[in-house]
Amino acid sequence: MEYIESVHNDQIKTAIKLQTKKYQTKSGSYFLEGPHLIEEAVKAGVALKQLFITENHQDDHIVKQFYDQSIMISDQVANHLAATETNQGMFAIAPIPDVSLPAQLTGGWLLLDAVQDPGNVGTMIRTADAAGFAGVIIGVGTAWPFNPKVVRAMQGSQFHLRLVQAPMADAIKQLQAEQAPVYGTLVNDAAVDYRTIQPTATFGLIIGNEGAGMDPALSSQTTANLVIPIPGHAESLNAAIAAGILMFHFVA
């Protein structure tokens, strides 16, 4: 097995570049950090392109499975690759899946309209996974789902559901072609209490920007706009919290 001890090695430089959207898009790959994420990838049948490990992981079953793709690295290199304070001794390069809009949308779909915070995006994707959603539509202005911060927040959920990058209008049109309701979250006089909505097998749920909310132009394309009653004194809910409440209502 090849051993790399310098942070100036070309393969290490490439791995660092894979933490940027520009290079991810160019190479069709992204970076995974830690045994948990890599284990989830392997369970999902992802063919890892490269695996970097420190000496204490050399007997791991994943290394045995991907021995030809494995490279041992020094602790110095591992610390250089790690985005977290303590490196976990295992990193991988994985292929970016197809993120194009599929010909048919069935099941529950979360549509993210300009949700900018990577932590929120990752949390929403993870929650959609937990709620049994079929996939998440990444709209214009929404954080790139393979951003390292999003990847950490997803905790492997990208391997359990479909991630799609598409304009909101295209996704809504596709759902409407399936005769599926599409629910917005624009707070206005016409908004209805989410608890009055009867869940259906296929549907779309739009969550808007953290500050500005959902694009008002989308409201004319929705079946209804939903509101979560707030009995307390808080002005609003965090976008990821609101998304979680609504998602679990639709799968109850």
pLDDT tens column, 194-240: 999 999 999 999 999 999 999 999 999 999 999 999 999 998 899 99
| Dist CA 18 CA 186 (whole Å) | 36
Measured distance CA(96)–CA(73) in Å, rounded: 24
Mean pLDDT of 94-110: 97
What integer best gives the mean pLDDT of the chain? 96
Mean pLDDT confidence for 132-150: 98
| Phi then psi dihedrals of residue 102, to 5 deg | -70, 165
Mean pLDDT to the nearest integer, 85-111: 96
- Lowest-pLDDT choice from 29-33, 86-90, 96-100, 246-250: 86-90
pTM for this prediction: 0.95
Burial class (CB in 10 A: 0-12, 13-18, 19+), 1: exposed
243 or 83, which is more confident: 243
Q: Where do runs of H (alpha helix) occur along the chain?
A: 10-17, 21-27, 35-43, 61-65, 75-81, 118-130, 148-154, 168-177, 239-250
Over residues 113-141, the mean pLDDT reads 98
Going from N- to C-terminal start, the domains of the chain cover: 2-95, 108-250
Quote the percentage of the chain above a pLDDT of 90. Answer: 94
> Is residue 102's pLDDT more than 90?
yes
| CATH 3.20.20.150 applies to domain 108-250 | no
Model pLDDT, residue 251: 87
Mean pLDDT calculated for residue range 97-118: 97
Per-residue pLDDT reduced to its tens digit, 9-33: 999 999 999 999 999 999 999 999 9
pLDDT classification of 143: cutoffs 50, 70, 90 = very high
Angle at 77 between CA 72 and CA 82, to 5 degrees: 105
pLDDT (tens digit per residue) in 47-89:
999 999 999 999 999 999 999 999 999 999 999 999 888 889 9
Residue 252: per-residue pLDDT: 64
- Considering the domain delimited by 2-95, tell me its CATH architecture: 2-Layer Sandwich (3.30)
